[in-house]
């Protein structure tokens, strides 16, 4: 005959059961597409990111991207973990006030090879949102521009160029590279042109009246 469980053991088991159900209910239903081994690991990473006030949607999307590509559960978990780390590094560099969009863009820039120092310098150089400068930086590196050249150009432009000018700068670089120009040279030439154009546009912009 089996001995009955003590009341405190039954209470502990009940608490664990309730907690387990609560965790299961909190798992994003989209993660059900993952295999049984990867699902709890990814869910734990998402929960940790949420607890750290990091954006979580990108983590879920990265996991779903892995399932679409038929990646193994182990590969998916590793990819989500790397992204979570990059989001944390981006916030360290951009500050606690960085928006989710800025953190996502910052993580992409770090993934491309930019340093946390570059991200911090961008934050110091520009009061406006950094989504476009960071995206341009990542796109330039993806186009073959050396990280140092891309970072120097974006940093220089971010101080005075508007988002539209930065996007046009990126297009000019990509166009010149496609025409056969060396990536670093194309970046330097386009940056000079954009700086000159931005300076002219800045002079033509109406100044806001100062406070009396």
pLDDT digits (tens, 9 = 90+) for 58-97: 999 999 999 999 999 999 999 999 999 999 999 999 999 9
For residues 43 and 36, what is the distance between their CA atoms, to the nearest angstrom?
A: 11
Give domain limits for the chain: 31-94, 97-202
Which residue is associated with the tokens 């991200």? 119
Predicted local distance difference test score (pLDDT) of residue 199: 78
For residues 182 and 186, what is the distance between their CA atoms, to the nearest angstrom?
A: 6
Q: Is the pLDDT of residue 132 over 90?
A: yes
Rounded mean pLDDT, 41-46: 94
Q: Is the pLDDT of residue 6 over 70?
A: no
DSSP letters, the chain, are -PPPPPHHHHHHHHHHHHHHHHHHHHS-GGGGGS-TTHHHHHHHHHHHHHHTT---HHHHHHHHHHHHTT--HHHHHHHHHHHHHHHHHHHHHH-TT--HHHHHHHHHHHHHT--HHHHHHHHHH-SS--HHHHHHHHHHHHTT--HHHHHHHHHHHHTT--HHHHHHHHHHHHHHHHTT--HHHHHHHHHHHHHHHHHHHHHHSPPPPPP-
pTM: 0.77
For residues 104 and 93, what is the distance between their CA atoms, to the nearest angstrom?
A: 13
Higher-confidence residue of 47 and 203: namely 47
Predicted local distance difference test score (pLDDT) of residue 124: 94
């Amino acid at each position: 005959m089996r001995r009955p469980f003590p009341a405190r053991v039954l209470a502990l088991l009940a608490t664990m059961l309730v907690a387990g159900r609560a965790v299961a209910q909190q798992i994003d239903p989209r993660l059900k597409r993952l295999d049984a081994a990867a699902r709890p690991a990814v869910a734990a990473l998402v929960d940790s990111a949420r607890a750290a006030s990091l954006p979580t949607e990108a983590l879920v999307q990265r996991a779903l991207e892995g399932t679409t590509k038929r990646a193994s559960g182990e590969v998916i978990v590793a990819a989500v973990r790397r992204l979570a780390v990059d989001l944390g590094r981006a916030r360290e560099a951009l500050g606690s006030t960085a928006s989710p969009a800025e953190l996502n863009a910052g993580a992409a820039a770090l993934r491309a090879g930019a340093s946390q120092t570059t991200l911090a310098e961008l934050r110091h150089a520009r009061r406006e949102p950094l989504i476009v400068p960071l995206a341009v930086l990542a796109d330039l590196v993806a186009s073959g521009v050396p990280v140092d050249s891309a970072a120097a150009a974006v940093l220089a432009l971010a101080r005075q160029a508007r988002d539209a000018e930065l996007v046009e700068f990126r297009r000019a670089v990509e166009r010149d590279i496609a025409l056969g120009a060396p990536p670093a040279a194309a970046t330097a030439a386009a940056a000079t042109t954009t700086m000159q154009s931005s300076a002219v546009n800045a002079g033509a912009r109406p100044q806001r009246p100062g406070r009396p």
